[in-house]
Amino acid sequence: MSCTPTSWSRASCPPMKSLVSTAPCMGRPLVAFNPVQRSLATRCCCRDSDNIDARVQSGDTASSSGRSSHDAKTGVCNRRSMQLAIVAAAAVSVAPCPPATALTLQDVTPQVVPAGALSAREEAIIDIFERNTNSVANVFDITLQGGARRSGTVDTPEGNGTGFVWDSEGHVITNFHVLASALRQLRPAQLQGEGSPRVAKLTLFNKQGYQQSYDAALVGADRSKDIVVLRLLNLQEALQPMQLGESGKVRIGQQVLAIGNPFGFDHTLTTGVVSGIGREIQSQAGAVIGGGIQTDAAINPGNSGGPLLDSQGRVIGVNTAIFTNTGTSAGVGFAIPIDIVRSIVPQLIQYGKVVRPALNIQLSTDQVARALRVSSGALVQSVGPNSAAVKAGLLPTRRGLTGIITGDVITGINDRKVTKGADLALALDSFQVGDRVTLKVRRGEEGAQGTQDLTLSLTLEEGSSS
């Protein structure tokens, strides 16, 4: 028999002694049971108290139960009876466990949550990548193809970089330093495209979505600006050129994307923002490239020569360098402004070289200038024979009877101030061959008596592209 909340009656409670003798949890405190169990135990206890009351009336003192006749007569359950009743309720309320059943594969397979809709920003980034990735090439220097250097757990191909399609005729742009090994083996005339020397192998996605390899010949190179133009030799279909933007309108904080082949992982997309503008980038030739774009988009070895895109998918720069102590991205990358590249590439395609305005002089390094006590300006080290600079009266650094005589120091060109040699190089990029310019010159030892401030006018001549 058992006491249940729905079928309880005085006759339904089993004898207390039988419950106690079979109860497995003797002595459990009242709080260990749920409210239904406590209620049931109380009812059974009170039923037992009524039996005790009947026995008292018949002369049984119930001394063995430890209860007083007052307790029995008033029907109050004592502590012992309450505990025994609770144990009994717990014993009868425990249901037998169902037999174990085997788990199926469906039981242990987690439910798949359907993918949600992409955000508008994600959709825009994906669209830019898909529109431009087929125009980005993986570039290999043929003299180093197959070589690799170990970097952590990744083999980094030497002479490996990125390029992008310039026009539908098969011209591709990349960095000079990506192909430095092959280009060093060429004669000066070959560097201008003579004989169309084969210097690289490229891979591009075709219209069917498969990678296709091409041999590439050199069209022209500008070492000072770290730019090379290649032409695909076995082109079988028209290529899709990338759209060009304006680097002069780039603003700090705007979003940018870089597509390239870092560590040989082709067609890798990274994103970031423009971190700075107007940076001076030191080229592989030691020349200074002005107006550089700084970005925190990850740029690593293999990204060189690849496009830096704005949020509309237009090329605003050519990734070229990183500032790092480890050789990998530290969040400081640099790109050559596309405005400079746009002025160089047409000349390389037409002439194989850049017709660049120059003074045809050689400047001293900053270290030499400081040793000669020149703290500001561009110190003239030598002047080309029969050059416009000679005709204008510009004096070089020379040796005299009393030692080295400091040459003229250029402190300005037109309305631009020149504080070091790099300033003069950047200023010349804004002129054309044949332009008439005015130089501000300091002659004589800086701070000494007899120093002269002069103004010299001359016509800019054609300079070298390397």
pLDDT in tens, 340-363: 999 999 999 999 999 889 999 999
Assign 35 a pLDDT band (cuts: 50, 70, 90): low
Look at residue 462 and tell me whether its pLDDT is greater than 60: yes
pLDDT at 366: 83
Are 139 and 178 spatial neighbours (Cβ–Cβ below 8 Å)? yes
**CB 366 within 8 Å of CB 373:** no
Is the model's pLDDT at 66 over the cut of 80?
Answer: no
Higher pLDDT, 78 or 411: 411
- Displacement of CA 21 from its chain's centroid (Å): 75
pLDDT of residue 4: 43
Can you give the pTM of this predicted structure?
0.67
Q: Report residue 9's pLDDT band, with 50, 70 and 90 as the boundaries.
A: very low
Q: What is the mean pLDDT of residues 160-189?
A: 93
Q: Check residues 93 and 136 and name the one with the higher pLDDT.
A: 136
Q: Which residue in 48, 141, 177, 465 is the catalytic one?
A: 177
**Mean pLDDT, rounded, of the chain:** 80
Comparing 22 with 314, the larger pLDDT belongs to: 314
Known catalytic residue: 247?
no
Q: Tokens 């406590």 correspond to what residue? A: 38
To the nearest 10°, report the CA torsion of 302, 303, 304, 306.
Answer: 130
Residue 49's pLDDT is 45
Active site residue 423: no
Question: Rounded to whole angstroms, how far apart are CA atoms 16 and 9?
Answer: 15
How many percent of the chain have pLDDT more than 90? 47
Which entry of 65, 283, 304, 465 is annotated as an active-site residue? Answer: 304
Here the tokens at position 132 are 């431009």
**Residue 51 predicted with pLDDT over 90:** no
Out of 226, 296, 310, 423, which one is annotated catalytic? 226
Mean pLDDT of 140-167: 69
Q: Locate tokens 């030598």: which residue?
A: 382
Task: Of 86-90, 278-282, 343-347, give the lowest mean pLDDT range.
Answer: 86-90
Is the confidence at residue 212, as pLDDT, over 60? Answer: yes
Question: Which helix (H) or strand (E) covers residue 42, if one does?
Answer: helix 35-57
Cα–Cα distance between 25 and 13 in angstroms, integer? Answer: 18
Cα 384 from Cα 301, distance rounded (Å):
39
At residue 290, the pLDDT reads 85
Instruction: In whole angstroms, give the CA distance from residue 283 to residue 214.
Output: 28
- Predicted local confidence at residue 61, as pLDDT: 43
226 is catalytic: yes
Q: Which of 180-189's residues contact partners 24+ apart within 8 Å by CB, and which partners? A: 180/141, 180/284, 181/141, 181/143, 181/144, 182/141, 182/142, 182/143, 182/144, 183/218, 183/221, 183/228, 185/143, 186/218
Confidence of residue 455 (pLDDT cuts 50, 70, 90): very high
- The enclosing H or E element of 21 equals helix 16-22
On the question of pLDDT at 292 being above 70, the answer is yes
- Structure tokens belonging to residue 303: 């990204």
User: Is the predicted pLDDT of residue 34 greater than 90, yes or no?
Assistant: no
Mean pLDDT of 287-302: 89
- Render pLDDT for 373-407 as a digit per residue (tens, 0 to 9): 899 999 999 999 989 999 999 999 999 888 899 99
Per-residue confidence (pLDDT) for residue 326, from 0 to 100: 63
Query: In angstroms, rounded to a whole number, what is the distance separating the alpha carbons of residues 225 and 346?
Result: 14
Secondary structure letter of residue 244 according to DSSP: B
